Structure 1
């Protein structure tokens, strides 16, 4: 019967941390699957989580972020995918952001009329606006998780 009360050794998320990668890892590692889903975020089904952990997080919003969570607390970047419309073209974007959600690398592609994926460059102003939106949506996720986990 003592196994029923085995202590949970997963740390509680530290929402005061400036390291957003560490914060995300602790939220996703802490048996919070139901809370994350109830808050409206997309994560894999339970059998996938039991086998692989939460290896994907979908954050609905203006950009509908697809976040590839860190695989360890030592990871120095998050990979984020999203799609947007720029100059009338549907653009697939990939951002790598650091622990402070600052952009370290970006890539933009689109599919041309011949169904060939091509790289595209966007101007600095557009990129800054996209980064601001990504940061906003990630910070909204963190704030919502802070509220949801506090009431758990």
Structure 2
């Protein structure tokens, strides 16, 4: 996968499939039962799989899929790494910050101090460039939590 095949994606304000993914995320959050939650989740996964490796592939959809893969942390982590790869390829600093933070959270939950700190510090580097004060505060709190691990 090469940046050239994606064109000038940086100039796009909303990622491809933003509206659909956003609505599906809301559907998951507001689902009255697990079956409807599962249907919306699978639709997000279908979009991710269908557009993987195409100009319409974007870290937003993979990060969202990972966010809702909370019952399978290892699978979620694989989706976050896919999102991270795309964000690096497309040089999307906001996504690099949030994805690295999500990965750090995943490692913190596993009590993997070294990995949690590595990804949190990487997220901190990108969040400072993106100027997202709220995310920066969350990252700093995660770093404190990780540092308190043995």
TM-score band, normalised by shorter chain: under 0.3
Structure with max Cα Rg: 1
TM-score, scaled relative to structure 1? 0.27
Between structures 1 and 2, the one with greater helix share: 2
Structure-2-length-normalised TM-score: 0.27
